[in-house]
Structure 1
Amino acid sequence: MRKCNSMFIGLLFAGLLSPLASHGKQMEAKSDIQALASSPQWLTTKVYIEGAPEVDVKEKYPGVVGISMWDPGRNRYEFFYTDTGLSKYDNGGGGYFLVTGDKTTHILVPDQGAVRTVVRRLEKLDNEEFTYSREVPRDMVDANAPVRIYVVHAPYKGPLKTSMSH
């Protein structure tokens, strides 16, 4: 019993002498996630395959092309078609999202649809560009080998006005 008391007093004393400052990584004053709110709408401007950034392959990956809206305050997102402005919500194009604390992963959790979670590598996120990458089957054909695509977005300034439905 005396040994336990001595150890407890020693640990308490060591705790009192150690500095109270955190040794963890300090977060930036403005989180990158707030950059999503810097534009009411984001437009897919380019899709390319890893190793070939000069070749735009948007036509082969229409499922990732569109206008998107992000609400960091509620962690909600919704996607829209670029030609009509109609929502993709009923086909998995809306739900919750988060950016991990290390700001390297962007995760989507759709409210509806066959896919329940989409994990994307966050490549760049600021007020002018939002780029993520993820592995998908080449040309979005399930039988094809996977490739890493990069999906680039810029603030949308076109005529279509969208609004989040959920």
Structure 2
Amino acid sequence: MKTYRVMAARLFLAALLVPSITHAQSIQTEPDVRAFASSPRWLTTKVYLEGAPDIDVKDKYPGVVGISMWDPDRNRYEFFYTDTGLSKYEHGGGGYFMVTGDGKTHILVPDKGPNRTVVRRLEALNNQAFTYSREVPRDMIETNAPVRIYVVHAPYTGTVQTTPSSAYAQ
């Protein structure tokens, strides 16, 4: 019995002397949805496939390429063609968006078009970059196997003028 008491006392003292260790995950800074407001417009600068960040495949994924506007105060977005500046609103290129509380998911809810909800993994969001990834059919051909694409945006400083639809402006 004395051996057990000595052993318990040693364990107790060891527990007091060893720094406490936590198994909780450290808090990571969440992307700031207000970063969307740091630029009035964002331009798709690169699209690449998972595992191949050095190969730009924008030409194979034109549906995700464009100029975008984000209003974080109203959670509204609208997309535009890069060559004409015309709105994509009538084809699902405008509506509401949200970033989940954990900062990992970016969800689009278009006002119009064939898709009702688009879920994207938020990779980066700050004043200089906005990057998301999502699974789509390879080369955007419905019968192809899915691949994960990464779509990179930067604040747009070009000369193409964009005019928001009345739904975005309201």
TM band (smaller chain): 0.7 to 0.9
Which residue does 2:68 correspond to in 1? Answer: 68
Which residue identity does 1:87 align to in structure 2?
A: S
Task: Tell me if the contact between 2:138 and 2:146 (Cα under 8 Å) persists in the aligned partners.
Answer: yes
Which residue identity does 2:133 align to in structure 1?
A: S
Matches within 5 A, 1:6-155: 32-155=32-155
Shift of 1:160: 1.6
Q: What is the SS of the residue equivalent to 1:34?
A: helix
Distance 1:108 1:91 in 2: 14
Q: Which ranges of structure 1 fall in alignment gaps of 5 or more residues? A: 1-24
Q: What is the SS of the residue equivalent to 2:95?
A: strand
Shift of 1:162: 1.7
Q: Would you say how many aligned residue pairs link Structure 1 and Structure 2?
A: 141
1:70-122 Cα deviation digits (max 9, x unpaired): 00001000000000000000000000000001000000000000000000000
Shift of 1:34: 0.2
Which residue identity does 2:74 align to in structure 1?
A: R
Q: Which ranges of structure 2 fall in alignment gaps of 5 or more residues? A: 1-25
Shift of 1:164: 2.3
Distance 2:121 2:127 in 1: 18
CA RMSD of aligned residues (A): 1.6
Distance 2:62 2:154 in 1: 17
Task: Tell me if the contact between 2:42 and 2:68 (Cα under 8 Å) persists in the aligned partners.
Answer: yes
Which residue identity does 2:38 align to in structure 1?
A: S
